[in-house]
A and B are shown apart, each in its own frame.
Chain A
């Protein structure tokens, strides 16, 4: 279902935008042809394998690789000594890629080998002798901040602390957002609700493990094939870790089998490049699922407190939120974004949001879909739900009573431009599912979410072929249908059939720079570059037609894919006509455009979860799920719906099942899909979507990013529905059967 803000004004009769053609890369993907990261084979290619730390925290005293190096079929062995010291901007990424003197989590890379067979590579790992001095470790924010806790990084002084930190600790930084007067606000409240919350680290869970093939030639240049959310970023980061110029590395993007933020950083690429350099042959490294869990992603575990006050007629008077996020082994949890997002949907004058970024001996966190926002949203939206319940107000009406709109100042600073938040609330309120009666043991939960969305840098090249077909090149990996939306926007601009457009994801040597496919930015920013390049082409085409007709260019307009005289005095020239004659009008027709996208449109989502709790077992069954999200403009509505649905499914998994389980030694105990339980088809119902279209004024078609905000509300929507079904407010995720049973048995 699509709801446009006002169809008469917002749907200006597009021919291609808003249609649902088959995606151009689809045929390769349903026939098994598409080449993902692990699918490339080169002649003479070696198999790489990675040795990882069994300890959560230890000093590396020595590494003896001599036996491994002497083994038959082993062509190269590398350790941290093969890389320059970890320094500069990407110091943490460098030492996360391969440990130098210390390992900081179980799974931290210690060495890597390349051999002629997988079995031999594995055997070589066994032959590497590492001597460790095991150090005490910390696994939670509380352990990390306890007096006398072992400090992971000697020089880590808390940034942003008041007064300034003088002693090293595991708290990397503190952020704070404040407004108004908290005491005054709480004094005005009729009801104040306060809870403490905890969440566990969860993994992005992409089905394709990380994989990279590198072929480094004796001149010290390397070609890398890998699946990532941004091959330019892979090039930049790899160059920094290796101490190389970026230009020595060419990264060719493979198809990517899911990322959700987790493939915006490097893990294997510099290892493969180095192994290949030493061996003089191409090297492929593919992670096992076990390695993916132990050493990549996840997102933060947390402890949070949220105290919110409101009047009995539903006006929020004060909010006091404190967040402690696990960063994993290096600074960089998404606590800042979490702090900025959690109160953004509300008009609240008196507030404090404080966040702490805390390092622990677990894998370094990576971005995961709207990083941080689902976590803080879980706390705030749970408390908001309880306030609405305690004053007897409908949860949607309560949000509407405090809704932010265009011109309001967000708690994190800026004024909101045009947003479609209120429309998402109304869409759920008016959805037939909102009137569905609930059965015994069933409950309904509402929650909302906000995410900024990103802009960043993109480039696109549009090449017109000699027959008027068109190749569109971008450098943004297609993670969920973006080729289709690029083709649709190009077709709309040029006025040609979308089937005549071939959208391609080009490598780092053949198209201009693009930032990662992340931050829900690709349709907006890379799409914007495509639109700009198409407009340059149209300018060029008008000029060529004018030349042919011997008139001024302003006498020619581009309508429906053809050049026409304003006065209609010449038969029109199609793109194909002009292309055919390009030799006479100035040569081949091509344009490139680059931009740093401005005009990013924020994303809001309102969601409703209906579920049933089995009082005997504590098992939750989702019976209905409804999500309304502002897409600005849905270029290809099917893939917009898909983003909504995928975010919801991940959020439900996070709410109900998923968690990293570490034992007392800091070893992950559930590093596989059997024990790290992601939702399967039989766990979920259909996910009903409403695409709200309040166009973003910052994009030619009104696009807002759609990829991320959908994962923000589900954690609280599920918890609120459990509360509605059972009368139990559970503030700790996941809401596993055992946890729910415990709450029920408490009476």
Chain B
């Protein structure tokens, strides 16, 4: 019998625990064990950003993290972006700006964009494009994604939700 590791961490504000095999990725643990399937595996090698989560405040490719490394960490996934039934401005702006076509890259883009705006409330186009360069989207050509992030930045600044 393979031995499993018991991992305890905070996910989207809730104390959560799960069992995992040592070689398993955090992405697989989140999806298979915790049941949060918002993060996707597009590559498993850190090259597409579909598995993006925020781990201890940093944008993280969860496919590159071993699940046991999550012990005592604080994790935010796409499922934790909205406040109850109140969408995060990024989510709202992606919807209004049609910044998703198939939508499979969207969780990763939303998470990466949140990390960007948390750190830089007023990014220009180039800063947005470089901040999101670790996320692949094959459908949109990025135009509407960049516009949605810009618009969300405006709304967040107006709402004063981001400290300048």
Contacts and interface: CB of A to CB of B under 8 A. Distances in A.
Interface in B113-164: 125-126, 128-130, 132-147
B137 A289 contact: no
A642 B28 CA distance: 31
A646 B139 contact: yes
A541 to B, nearest CB: 32
B contact face: mostly helix, strand, loop, or mixed? loop
Nearest to B28: A118
A23 B95 contact: yes
Given A481-B101, A639-B98, A684-B142, A29 B106 contact: yes
A681 B144 contact: no
B43 interface: yes
B79 A673 contact: no
A207 B48 contact: yes
A642 B144 contact: yes
Contacts of B101: 258, 479-481, 639, 642-643, 646
Nearest to A206: B138
A166 interface: no
Contacts of B43: 289, 672-673
A contact face: mostly helix, strand, loop, or mixed? loop
Contact of A479 (B36, B102, B140): B102
A164 interface: no
A191 interface: no
B42 A680 contact: no
Contacts of B64: none
B129 A682 contact: yes
Interface string B34-66: 011111111111011010000000000000000
A209 interface: yes
Contacts of B102: 206-208, 255-259, 479-480
A286 B100 CA distance: 23
A38 interface: yes
B160 to A, nearest CB: 23
Contacts of B37: 32, 35-36, 38-39
A14 interface: no
B81 A31 contact: yes
Contact of B42 (A207, A641, A681, A686): A207
A687 interface: yes
A119 interface: yes
Nearest to B131: A681
B32 interface: yes
Contact of A29 (B100, B125, B145): B100
A684 B138 CA distance: 12
Given A35-B37, A682-B129, A30 B98 contact: no
Interface of B: 2, 21, 23-24, 28, 31-32, 35-45, 47-48, 50, 77-79, 81-82, 87, 91, 94-98, 100-107, 110, 125-126, 128-130, 132-147
29 contacts: A26-B103, A30-B94, A30-B103, A32-B39, A32-B77, A32-B79, A41-B32, A117-B2, A209-B42, A255-B104, A257-B104, A257-B105, A289-B43, A289-B44, A639-B98, A645-B141, A646-B139, A646-B140, A649-B138, A649-B141, A650-B138, A673-B48, A680-B134, A680-B142, A681-B145, A682-B126, A684-B129, A684-B142, A687-B141
Please list the 6 inter-chain residue pairs (A to B) with the smallest Cβ-Cβ separation, ordered nearest first: A32-B38, A257-B104, A649-B141, A638-B98, A29-B103, A645-B141
